[in-house]
A and B are shown apart, each in its own frame.
Chain A
Amino acid sequence: MSPLVAQTRAEVTQVLRNGEQLLLTLGIPVLLLVFFSLVDVLPTGTAEPIDFLAPGIMSLAVMSTAMVSLGIATGFERSYQVLKRLGATPLGRRRLVIAKIAAVVVVEVVQLAVLVPVALLLGWSPGGARWLAAIAGVVLGTVAFAGLGLTLAGRLRGEVNLAAQNGLYLVLLLLGGMVIPFAELPWLLEAVARVLPSGALANVVRESLAGGTEWVVLSWVVLATWAAITPAVAARWFRWE
């Protein structure tokens, strides 16, 4: 087994064995999807809440894995000198980062494999969905959120990073157009939300899967910009120990 495959497998196993990470990456998204689909309390602006929620929750799942799960795990690995020790193996730092990204992709595939059938069972009908565009959005979102997560993980102490990642997760969830439509936000918050990576990702995925048109070009530009900036910032500021 090559070092890259071995490390990727170890990363995926770590996520799937960790109860907190499972709750974050699968439990919360599935719970939110099911609950708000069955309990119609959100002003989704669609005839069926699931049509609004399914793309939003998929975006939330991407954010959970690429930013929070990756960021928290990496932050603690930095604190425990795991990154330092792995850096002294033939794996090296470059392949360690690749393994982490590969593990994120694997977990995202698992998430979508769970969320899409659940959404379909709840009545979601993605007629005319442009899946390739949605996947492109997910890729950009993954890059942007991974950059954010690693930037925090590479600078903050383990516990501070944990708090920061969770705090940011909550803010991006509430302002991200994932469960609450932009139109329901005060105008200033709405303006901010539309330039956040979570808002841009949710809008791009929703438009790709449901045919919405509002602000889409801007959302693609915003998402691509975040995807270009955050990895560069992480690469510049990340401390391995």
Chain B
Amino acid sequence: MADAAVEVHELVVRYGDLLAVAGVSFTARAGEVTAILGPNGAGKTSTIEVCEGFREASSGTVKVLGLRPDRDQSRLAARMGVMLQDGGCSPSARVADTVALYCALYGRGVEPAQLIELVGLAERRTSTWRRLSGGERQRLNLALALAAKPEVAFLDEPTSGVDVTGRALIRQIVRDLTTQGCAVVLATHELDEADRVADRAVIIDRGVVVADGTLEQLRAGHDEIRFRSDVALDVQSLASHLHLAVDQVAPGEFRIAAASTPELINTLTGWLSAQQLPLDDLRAGAQRLEDVFWRLTGRGDGSR
């Protein structure tokens, strides 16, 4: 097992009477992407900001690369990449100047021009922050984190507002970081993104961890079959025919909580055919991370 780069134990963060984080514990390892997932207000950013040294814990312990962020921030800063949820640059700051400044501040031998090229901003090197799109700003923020040549990187909502191409680029950069042995801690509420890039997930809801494990562990035992058909499909009739539970999770979208087998698929398609109902978008296998999230947090009413 890889080395623990981030160790959070029974972390509590209070803002006055508000309990934002209520005893969160998890470990993030070198060479892995650990996704901190949760809805807005779950406590993700508060947790990460304690790890980054921006915020003090009300109680509990946090160690990053064996150091305490609240006491050893200056030593930690040189080895840690940080990407804030938003902001971080002056509107009048130019891309090339900002990246060059951060490369100089970290002093890790990262070449600014290469870094700008890496995040796909070579064409925008003379642009100011205020002229960048949301996705370009995120990529610039990522470049500033990479300037540290980090051993641990905290990325807060890195793909927020980023287009499809930009997301693919960011995912590739994150994977490359882990290949180099960096521990990436990624906070997001975009579950599809986490599904694509994370090795492990820590799901936080209302300030507490409701699940922690590899994506395979979180999905285990929750195979399903999903398909689309007529909204008027008789769910009870189909459930009786299959002897399995069937839900309509969204208008015209149905879920059977069972592992996929050729016999079951055959029975399902035969029944739909007999009922003269359409079949679209048939998908079978492990639950998506989004479904894991909804199952574990109990959020939503099945109408997603």
Contact = CB atoms under 8 A, between A and B. Distances in A.
By secondary structure, the A interface counts as helix
Chain A interface size, as a band, is 20 to 34
Interface in A1-37: 1-3, 6-7, 10, 13-14, 17-18
A128 interface: no
A81 B86 contact: yes
A42 B69 CA distance: 58
Given A13-B97, A89-B77, A90-B74, A80 B106 contact: no
A76 B90 contact: yes
Contacts of A13: 97
Contacts of B252: none
Contact of A85 (B88, B91, B107): B88
B87 A80 contact: yes
A84 B54 contact: yes
A91 interface: yes
A90 B90 contact: no
Contacts of A91: 105
Nearest to B80: A88
A92 B74 contact: yes
9 contacts: A3-B107, A6-B104, A18-B92, A81-B88, A82-B89, A88-B77, A89-B77, A90-B106, A92-B74
Nearest to B102: A89
Interface of B: 52-54, 73-74, 77-78, 80, 82, 84, 86-93, 97, 101-102, 104-107, 144, 148
B92 A17 contact: yes
Contacts of B144: 85
Contacts, number: 68
Given A84-B87, A92-B73, 12 more contacts: A1-B104, A6-B101, A13-B97, A14-B92, A77-B90, A80-B89, A81-B86, A85-B82, A88-B53, A88-B80, A89-B106, A89-B148
B13 to A, nearest CB: 15
Given A10-B97, A84-B54, A89 B105 contact: yes
Contacts of B105: 3, 6-7, 86, 89-91
Nearest to A13: B97
Interface in A66-91: 76-77, 80-82, 84-91
Contacts of A6: 101, 104-105
Contacts of B90: 14, 76-77, 80, 82
Nearest to A92: B74
Interface in A87-131: 87-92
A80 B91 CA distance: 8
B78 A90 contact: yes
A88 B89 contact: no
